[in-house]
Amino acid sequence: MKRFALAPHLIGLYPLGMMVIFFLGPLAFMIVVSFYLRDPLGFYKVDFTWENYGKFFSSFYYSVSLRSIWTSALASLLTVALAFPAIYVITDMRRKWQLAWVIGLLALMCLSEVVIGFAWVILMSESAGIPRLLGWLGLWEDPRSLSPSRLAMLIGMVSLGFSLVALMFFPQLSQRDRSIEEAAQTLGTPPAQVFFRIVLPIFRPGLAASLVTMFVYYLGVYVMPTMLGRPQDWNMSVIITDKAVEQANMPLGAALAVIMLIFTVLLIGGFALATRKEGAK
């Protein structure tokens, strides 16, 4: 009996061990390195200093952090605002069309971030992309390349996360109770008001969760800002990589990564606490 009772606990040691090896171990190493000093002849020099964390509060890193937060928030809002209505329409289609859309979204997820970013670079180029097409149609007198720019970076980020958010909502919307919507339409409520006044409030927790998820996801995006954005549009992930890899300043890169990790944990914790209080009410 004791061996049988211990079996679930022994099975639980496997995921715990994987978490320690692939997450807690590297995280502990990163935290330790963040207190070291940079060594011009190597990666770091063993020491204990708060200098790396103090640099975060300089005007440069502070402005980059605020820009990263603003860009991630805007991209997550646009992604959810586009994906949720799209899936709402798709789930009302016939089964075969729903299957076709799901396969297409899954195929889009199979593409790497580099492929998607390179595709947008070509589409936004002056010589072979959208500007040239608009100029040929006479809709743009002086066509020029749309990238690199903040708009191009946002478009790339939204296209990267669109399929992920859409597939997150597909099971919920496909299995929703349509009787409330049908009753409202029977009473004369226009379809637009049904969507905004009935569907959105019902899925408000899921919408909030998807916003937080994509916000955290976009904070770590690296390829889209480097391929489609300008240096003044880069987020903190690009700066951390530049400091740790290009400039061989691992202690500073580790300190910046720890600060962003703390901010992410506080954000998720605040969202979980707010959701818990709302559920209690």
What pLDDT digit, counting tens, does each position of 222-247 carry?
999 999 999 899 999 999 988 888 88
Distance of alpha carbon 275 from alpha carbon 277, whole angstroms: 5
Rounded to 5 degrees, what angle do the CA atoms 16, 18, 21 make?
110
148: cis peptide before it, omega within 30°?
A: yes
Instruction: Give CA–CA dist 246/130, Å, rounded.
Output: 34
CA pair distance 131, 18, nearest whole angstrom: 49
Q: What percent of the chain has pLDDT over 90?
A: 33
Query: What does the pLDDT look like over 72-107, one tens digit per residue?
Result: 999 999 999 999 999 999 998 999 999 999 999 998
Confidence label for 6 from pLDDT (cuts 50, 70 and 90): low
The encoded tokens of residue 197 equal 């006044």
Write phi, then psi, for 189 (nearest 5 degrees). Answer: -75, 130
pLDDT band, very low/low/confident/very high, at 164 (cuts 50, 70, 90): very high
Token duo for residue 185: 């339409």
Residue 62: alpha-carbon gap to chain centroid: 21
What letter would DSSP give residue 9?
H
Express as a percent the part of the chain with pLDDT over 70.
95
Q: With bands split at pLDDT 50, 70 and 90, how would you rate the model's confidence at 1?
A: very low
202 token code pair: 């019902």
What integer pLDDT is reported at residue 139 of this predicted model? 83
Domains assigned to the chain: 57-280 (1.10.3720.10)
Residue 161: pLDDT over 90: yes
